[in-house]
Amino acid sequence: LTNLDSRITEGDTIISIANDLCSVTESKTLYGGDMMTTTKIIKKMATKMSADIATFPDPRQREAIVTELLHGVVKTSSNLLDSSQLASWRDLTHKEQMRVATSLLVGLEENSFLLAETVIREKTVTHSVKNILLSVRVLELRNVGAEVFPAPGTVDQWGGGGGGSSVGGGNWIRLEREALMENSEGGLVRLVLVAFDRLEEILQVEAPNATRLINSKVISASLGKGRHIQLSDPVTICLRHIRTDNVTNPVCVFWDYTMSSWSEEGCRVESTNLTHTICKCDHLTNFAILMDVQATYLPPNHARALQVITYIGCIISVVCLILAIITFQLFRGLKSDRTTIHKNLCVCLLVAEVLFLAGIGQTDQAILCGVVAGLLHFFFLCAFAWMFLEGFQLYVMLIEVFEAEKSRIRWYYLFAYGAPLIIVAISCFIDPYSYGTDRYCWLRADNFFIFSFVGPVIAVILANLVFLSMAIYMMCRHANASVSMKSKEHSRLASASGEEENALQNKLLSHLAWLRGAI
């Protein structure tokens, strides 16, 4: 990136630099400093291209080359907003993120208006990439009407499948004819409209308890180079809520370039419902919806006390698990399938709790935090798999009380470690960036990713409920068994039945406690 920056001053062609910048940001994982450098290059390219095209006598040549530059800039900007670069943004402090994001918005706007000023006749140029939809519209006064973006008929195509972005349906902005007419120049209206995906994740409000959040995509409109043009006829913005649960009090806000923060000045809520909010604003810029989060957060002293209690409890649990494993190892006479299940359950819980103690708070290192979250996901799922096998083994002991015992331990190992591995692998493939959050190294709970853990846990609870129900049924069926049953067999059946019932009841209670804690 430093080489690309120097090539601008050395006189290399801007189009070549733009293409190389796009390739680098698409193929490589960047660091926080690279984000700053990239946005500076984007702004420098607009300045250099503005000087270069002044030497081109052919207006069509100027338009073609600036269009090509803008396409490269839009793709580069989309690459910076991609989920694969989220860790790069996290390398920056919150203030640095706001500064770099502002620089990105300014650079994209400058390149867009460079094209708008180069076009000398009525024309619309649209660039649609993964995380950005951008439209540069040059309108002749005689054809000016109300402008809606995204244009009707293009939202589904842009917001649907095939790798398109997801900003589409439910988000639009409408500028009235009068507002456009009064901002014309030379008989033309020059308008730049942009919709962003994932930008809201970067431009989140900084708050100690995260009580407010940006709850919509970001959509932008600009007339001319002025960023604070006052409109006689307000612009209308409709924004779809990203979250609909536990949020309230929508506020229409715009991005203040000077302060690098959100402001509600000049904007008001026209109407709102569970899924959408319609705003009216008397100026143009980048718009979004700010909402309150209704979740209740613990006071700092209570949070510290809870943390101490949690760590003390985990340490006691680790000691007890170590003692249990030592006991299973020393008393070889206890060797059986059921004992092996107990031992593996203790090992999985021990590893998971040690990981929890050592790594749950490593949020300052995004990659390490994600690895810790993935390992916790795997070992806790393994623990629940062994809990399931405990119930299954007790059920088998009951139905095979008169049959020769046979070991299934190989199949148990395959299931208990194979199934969790598959679940974690699929989860990581679908959304690797939901492993680890800003608050703890666990699964994200705000996008249903947590159900990759809660789902299997619920399945284990339901399965053990079935085992318990069947055990009770069989106990009732044998309650009136023939008195001629041999005493030894009767004793074995009664022992297995009682053991089954007590073990499954205890396991169900432990499952529910684990599930509540996980959620």
pLDDT at 344: 93
**What kind of architecture, by CATH, is found in domain 300-518?**
Up-down Bundle (1.20)
The DSSP symbol for 165 reads -
| Whole-number Cα distances in Å, 28 to 73, 186, 206 | 17, 44, 28
Global pTM value: 0.59
pLDDT at 345: 92
pLDDT at 207: 55
| Whole-number Cα distances in Å, 107 to 74, 76, 132, 136, 163 | 10, 11, 14, 15, 25
Beta strands 188-196; 132-140: pairing state: antiparallel
**What's the longest Cα–Cα distance across the chain?**
111
pLDDT at 225: 62
**What kind of architecture, by CATH, is found in domain 121-297?**
Sandwich (2.60)
Dist. CA 138–CA 136, nearest whole Å? 7
Hey, what are 4's tokens? 């690309």
In degrees, rounded to 5, the angle at the alpha carbon of residue 60 between the alpha carbons of residues 56 and 65 is 70
pLDDT at 158: 43
Query: Residue 28, Cβ neighbours under 10 Å: how many?
Result: 14
The DSSP symbol for 28 reads S
Helix, strand, coil percentages, rounded to 5, for the chain: 55, 15, 25
**Which of 446, 461, 48 lies closest to 247 in space, CA to CA?**
446
Over the chain (519 residues), the average pLDDT of each successive run of 10 is 85 91 91 90 93 87 94 96 88 89 94 92 92 94 91 51 46 92 88 93 72 89 73 91 86 90 92 92 88 64 83 91 88 77 92 92 86 95 92 78 66 94 94 83 82 92 84 69 48 50 51 48
pLDDT at 269: 94
Residue 299 half-sphere exposure, CB side, CA atoms within 13 Å? Answer: 2
pLDDT at 164: 39
Dist. CA 53–CA 267, nearest whole Å? 38
For the chain, the domains span: 1-120, 121-297, 300-518
* Contacts made by residues 146-154, CB under 8 angstroms, sequence distance 24+: 146/174, 146/175, 146/176, 146/177, 147/174, 147/175, 147/180, 147/191, 147/193, 148/172, 148/173, 148/174, 149/173, 149/174, 149/193, 149/195, 149/219, 149/221, 150/195, 154/126
**Do you know the residue count of the chain?**
519
The rounded Cα 267 to chain-centroid distance in angstroms is 28
pLDDT at 157: 38
Dist. CA 460–CA 467, nearest whole Å? 10
DSSP 282-334: EE-SEEEEEEEE------HHHHHHHHHHHHHHHHHHHHHHHHHHHHHHH-GGG
Residue identified by tokens 């450098």 is: 37
Hey, what are 208's tokens? 């100690």
pLDDT at 228: 64
**Which of 75, 83, 89, 70 lies closest to 30 in space, CA to CA?**
89
Query: Residue 258, Cβ neighbours under 10 Å: how many?
Result: 9
Dist. CA 112–CA 119, nearest whole Å? 11
Dist. CA 114–CA 42, nearest whole Å? 12
Query: How would you label 31-46 residue by residue, b for 16+ Cβ within 10 Å and e otherwise?
Result: ebebbbbbbbbbbbbb
Dist. CA 169–CA 46, nearest whole Å? 31
Is residue 307 within 8 Å of 267, Cβ to Cβ?
Answer: no
Can you say whether residue 150 is alpha, beta or left, with left for phi > 0 and alpha for psi between -120 and 50 degrees?
beta
Angle between helices 366-399 and 451-479 in degrees, nearest 10:
10
Q: What is the CATH number of domain 1-120?
A: 1.25.40.610
Query: How would you label 288-324 residue by residue, b for 16+ Cβ within 10 Å and e otherwise?
Result: bbbbebeeeeeeeeeeeeeeeeeeeebeeebeebeeb
Is residue 253 within 8 Å of 204, Cβ to Cβ?
Answer: no
- Three-class secondary structure assignment of 240-283: ECCCCCCEEEEEEEEEECCCCEEECCCEEEEEECCCEEEEEEEE
Residue identified by tokens 């629940």 is: 384
**Which of 207, 197, 195, 179 lies closest to 238 in space, CA to CA?**
195
Dist. CA 213–CA 217, nearest whole Å? 12
